[in-house]
Structure 1
Amino acid sequence: MAFSSIQLGALITGALLMIIGTVALVYLDNVLKKIIGAAFIGDGVNLLLVSLGYKANGISYIFLQNMTVDNFLGNAAYPLPFALVLTSIVIGASTLAVMLALTIVLYKRHGTLDASALLNDKKLGEDKE
């Protein structure tokens, strides 16, 4: 499969976003930075899906009256990745909002966002009396 330069650039950028997000999830100790890393991974996957659906000199997948079926089928872009990305954006935005809300609760309760301090906190497993 031959890739155009735009498509190859989007594939490389998507892969870099996923690598940066994975490094943030694994190596950074701040919970907020881990959430940003998770968002980078989601954005990288979305970019990869969009770049896979891209077709050089392609047309939108709307069949107009002056088109022939052969012309339409040969030149139309593949619509499934774009539909998947649209769904992923909506789900990712709502998940990110919930993660940020939980981060605010964690900070108000424990006064820190360091993951190692939160995991070592003895109050996390105990009920307040």
Structure 2
Amino acid sequence: MQRDYAPAPPPQDITVHTASRVLELRYASGQTLRIPFELLRVYSPSAQVKGHGPGQEVLQTGKRDVLVTGMAPVGHYAIQPTFSDGHDSGIYTWDYLYFLGSRQQALWQEYEQRLAAAGAHRDDAMPETAGRSCGSH
């Protein structure tokens, strides 16, 4: 899947919907994107999830019920959510959030294919790892 993110404007409003587990982004154009927390977590841009290069990605499982428990701005270009599973190292730029929100169907399909290839399921528990870092620092 193409990973070049087209420039995107900052959303005018960001709403965390805890009950429906959705991050809602509203834009000046009138467009609204609703991104499930699970998708945000599974596609975290952090090194802990993406690794430090091709082939180092860590397949995320057991994230269906994850919540966003906090959100910090990062300059004028991104947000850094904290998830209920303790993950808090992903910095989501406006461009990346727009990519996630506008490509959800393809991203879910890619995720399901990666799960199937690994013989895993969405609700499998994540394997235990030492510490919370990516392990290479």
Q: Same fold (TM over 0.5)?
A: no
Larger Rg computed on CA atoms: 1
Q: TM range, normalised to the smaller chain? A: under 0.3
TM-score under structure 2 length normalisation: 0.23
Report the structure, 1 or 2, having the larger strand content.
2
TM-score under structure 1 length normalisation: 0.24
Report the structure, 1 or 2, having the larger helix content.
1
